[in-house]
Amino acid sequence: MNMKCRMIALGMLIVAALTGLGAASMAAPAPAVQKLLPGNNDVAGFKIVAKTLTYGKGVDVSKVYNGGYELYTKNGVVDVVKQMYQRESEYAEVTVHTMKSTKAALDFVNYWAKQRETKSAAIAGIGTGFSVTKPSVMSYYAMGKYFVTVSAYYPAEKSVKETAAFATAVKKRIKA
């Protein structure tokens, strides 16, 4: 993992720990969207990083997206949950959004594909989506009425495949 990726991941962990975002979302019963997040070892060796769970609904989507959250609510995000995972020095972040409809989820994936200058496609066993590898690996998926992103903070040759594994873990929970 290069130094820049490590610093980004470490910075995210420090901010989450200092602001106590995870504790606030744990006080109430878990929202349905939270139950879709992968568990420990759903992707080989990755464990949930303590106190990194963040949840927002309506204007509280701003708790997840500090600035620019209006883009998400305008495009149909009802609520969102985010969680960090770690395997040794490798970090991944999974974000699951409940959308107003299946169409809203697909439209939002296509919006991001256009922003990233690529195209989305059907991905067997997951849904519709795409991945980019620069500046870091990020994958975007529409799974029914859910919009899911997976970010990886370690080398692309390994992480592209594993972002799909995280997405598959979410998809299995959607079906359950």
- d(CA 79, CA 96) in angstroms, rounded, equals 8
Taking the chain, what is the end-to-end CA distance rounded to the nearest angstrom?
35
Q: Please list the residues that pair with 140 across neighbouring strands.
A: 130, 149
pLDDT of residue 99: 97
pLDDT of 175 reads 82
Q: What is the DSSP letter of 61?
A: G
Residue 53: its pLDDT value, please? 95
Q: Could you give the CA distance from residue 78 to residue 129 in angstroms, rounded to a whole number?
A: 20
Task: Quote the tokens at residue 149.
Answer: 């992103």
CATH number for the domain harbouring residue 22: 3.40.1000
Q: Which residue has the tokens 């795409």?
A: 130
Provide the whole-model pTM: 0.83
Quote the domain boundaries for residue 92. 3-175
Return the pLDDT at 158.
Answer: 85
Predicted pLDDT at 101: 98
The pLDDT, as a whole number, for residue 2 is 54
How many folded domains does the chain comprise? 1
Q: How many CB atoms lie within 10 A of CB 127?
A: 23
Tens digits of residue pLDDT in 106-121:
999 999 999 999 999 9
Residue segments in the chain with a per-residue pLDDT below the cut of 50: 1, 5-7, 9-26
